[in-house]
Each structure stands twice: as C-alpha cells, then as structure tokens.
Amino acid sequence: MNPHRTSGRAAAADRLARADRSRTFPPLPVRTGARGLFAESWWGSAWLDALETAALDSARLARGRTYARDGHVDTINVTPGRIVATVRGSRPRPYSADIRLRTLSDQEWDGLLDAIAEEPDHLTALLAKKLPRALADGGTRLLPGPGDLVPRCSCPDHGRPCKHAAALCFQVARLLDADPFVLLLMRGRGERELLDELSRRNAALTAREARAHPVAATPPPLPGQGPEAREATPTAASGPAAEVAPGERAAPRTSTGHGVLARVVLADRPRPPLPPPLPVPPQPGRPPALPDGDGLPFDPAALEFLATDAAARAHACVSAAGSPGPGAGRPAVHSPFPSLPPWEDAIRLTATAHPTAGLTSTTRALYRDLAAATGRTTTDVARSVAAWRQGGPEGLALLDTTWNPPAGDFDRARSALLAADLSSLRPRHNHLTDPGRGIQLRFGRDHRWYPYESEPGTEDWWPTGPAGPDPVGALTALLAR
C-alpha cells in the first residue's frame, strides 16, 4: 500500500473530524410575540434552569434576555466545551462572550452510545431533533446542572454572568430547541461522528444477536429482479442442477448474502430536476461587527468593510446574472466590476466604505492609512474619493487627465450655456472654466458634465455635486451652493 495515499486519507479524515466538531450559526432572528418562556423544549428550559440557578443578579439576566430577544447576539460558534459569539451592547464595538461546559470522558461517551444503540427509540428521537428524557436522565448526564456553565466576556462587567454572556445563553437555548445535537457537540462529539459510531455499534449488536439466534432466511429479491430472474440465477446451493455441459462456460455464481448487484446500483435511472435557485435578496447582507482585540494579525475595521464590499459585489454579480428561463441556459453576463488597478480599487473601497459619511475621525484615519500605503498625500486621497463618489471610474479619470472631445457635443454645450447667460466659461480641452468665480465643468467620455469648484484665483479644483448630461443644470446646481 502506498504510504503517501494512506497518510492523505488520514489527513482528509482528520479534516472532516475537525469540521464536524465546529458548527457556526448565523444570527438568530429577532424574537417577536408574547414574552413568555424563552425556550420551547424541555431540554432548552433545563439549559436555562442551569443558567438562572447559578446567576447572582436577576437584573443582568433580564437584560440578557432582552438583548437576545432584540437580536443583539451575532454569529454563534459551537465547539466541544465552548460556545463563542459577539454581542452588541451600548458601545460601537461588540463584546466577545463565551460559555464553557465540561466535555464527557471517553468512558462516559461509551456508556451514552451503548444506551442509544440498545434502544432504537433514542436514535429515532435524536434524528427527529428531539432529546429523549430517559436518555438525558440516564447514567451519563447530558444537560448542565447548577454551576456547570462557566460564562466569560470581554466587557468590563464582572457579573457572573454579565448581560452579554446571559444573552448568549438564551440564544443557545433556541439552538438546542431546534437541534439537540448541538448539546452533544458541546459535550465533545460532532453529529456525523456520533452517527458513524452508532452505525458501527448497531452493526456489532445485530451481529451478536444473529449469532445468538441463528435463523435460516431466504435472501430478498434483488432490485429489478422478479421471481423468474431469481430462479434462473445460479447459486452455490444449486448443487447438481447448476452443472453445465462439457465445453460450455459456467455462469458466474452469485452470493446468497443480502446485497445488491453493483450493476443495479450504478445503472442509469431518471432523476428529478434540480430545484430552481433561490431569489436574490433585495439588498446584500452585512457581516457581523468584529470585536476589538490585542495582538490580532489584522485590523478588524478593515476586515469588516472588505467583507461588506465582497457581499455587495457578489450581490451585484448574482443580480446581473438573473435567472435562466424555462429550458434555457443562463446567458453569459459580463461582471459589473471590471478589474481595476490597485490605486483605483483602493479609492473605490474607501469611497464605498462610508458612502454618505463626511470627514469624520474614522475616515481621516482611513485616508491617512491609504496615503501612507500608496505614497500619496491625504489631500490626494480625499480628492480622489470625492471624484469616485461623483462619477465612479470616469469621475476618477477626469480628475487628472484631459482629452479633446468631438466638436459637436462641446459646441452644443457652449451654445446652451450662452443662452443661459453663462458665457464667461473658457474652453480648454474638455474643461469649461470661469477662474474668476472658481467654477468649472469637465466633460466625460460618458457624455456627462462633472462640476468642479476652487477658491477664486487658484487652481485647487475639487469635484463638487453630482454629474449630469445637461451642462446648464450641472452648472446651475454648482452656482446655487
């Protein structure tokens, strides 16, 4: 056997096992309606009983319940012995809350798995997302008791638990309502891992019972074979009837065990069509806010707006692709996001990170970082961001480059400005400028006019106001400022 292939399979199995022992749940929806019991299942209520019995302050629990009900808990990650989530409080940055729970020992798992394998109703209930009370109350205690839940949080409140950790506990109760395998994962084993182990134990149990009570059984007919085909199939038990004439080849003998022929399993058969794709949501989603942390190898704020941008771009691409018609393939669609040079893409990201924000402390820091990374000044960055917001790639191109437009478009624009008594603008390349009043129009290759302004007598031009196809309208809006 090839040792490299064996090691590759072992590595793949290890990756699957690690993935099975980590589950991530998106933020749960806001809970509306009556303010009664938070958990709906008896095991979810038992989880909350363990929290409330050990809590030192009922007011913090009430705040935590409100936080959970109002959707303050972001993405939840569950791994053996630990539940982690970010919880949004009164400050801009969320806090990182986690709950610790002891995992079961190997001996405890053996006892629990044996109990499930010996009682088929237990496995049936688990597969139906129900936790049997007899299993939870058996020899291996699954649900936490008072003091078993250990809450932690990055907030300055030292309550046990604080309202952020309490909110996380309340939301975990909702996860347990929907799937008791979440509780088993907290105790140390993933769902796929448990089902595989139960399959092995059930097979071993069936084999022991078969040896203890042997029963002669006739193998069932194979799929696609009727009684005639079964009678015509030679078997090891056929005896002399299976003999063939001299010179003829004997037909291959089939096993009398319970099984299905490979050719039957692999035979072509009609399959139902795939379901239609889900509709595109009206707006792209926003990623959860990341908590601050010391010693991180990345900037949380930068990662947040990169994730936001990726979601917006994916949403635009899917929206542009649309849905194929019945019986038709999906038409080829060009990406709405052409490839950009690094400088232009950096300006695009900066301009779209906070599209309606003014020059705040956050944007100033962003401009400084971008200027330092690109060898530009913060003024260059701010001017370029304004140009991008004014007209995207074309607006940014007009900031530093000129071109000679066709005479027809330019002449018609000058005639319109003359008729509107705006004749003082001097033409140069694609610019119409009145330096005395510090106003300027720039004509883009997209046949739109981009208004600029400057301090009179200087050449410090800044994009100002929206671009438009009408030069008179663009200039009138600029003069009205």
Residue 155: helix, strand or coil by DSSP?
coil
% of the chain beyond a pLDDT of 70: 79
Tens of pLDDT, residues 58-79: 888 889 988 998 889 999 999 9
Residue 323's pLDDT band (cuts 50, 70, 90): low
pLDDT for the residue 222: 47
Question: Tens digit of pLDDT for each residue in 388-418?
Answer: 988 889 999 999 899 988 877 777 887 788 7
Which of 12-16, 67-71, 197-201, 450-454 shows the lowest mean pLDDT across its residues?
A: 12-16
pLDDT band at 367 (very low <50, low <70, confident <90, very high): confident
CA pair distance 446, 389, nearest whole angstrom: 15
> Judging by beta carbons within 10 Å of its beta carbon (0-12, 13-18, 19+), is residue 298 exposed, middle or buried?
exposed
3-state SS, 203-254, equals HHHHHHHHHHCCCCCCCCCCCCCCHHHHHHCCEHHHHHHHCCCCCCCCCCCE
Tallying the residues shown for the chain, one arrives at 481
- Given a cut of 60, is residue 231 above it in pLDDT? no
In 3D space, the residue among 317, 313, 312 whose CA is nearest the CA of residue 330 turns out to be 317
**Which pLDDT value is given to residue 244?**
45
CB 378 within 8 A of CB 369: no
DSSP state for residue 468 in the 8-state scheme: B
Helix (H) or strand (E) holding 83: strand 82-87
440-446 average pLDDT score: 91
Average pLDDT along the chain: 79
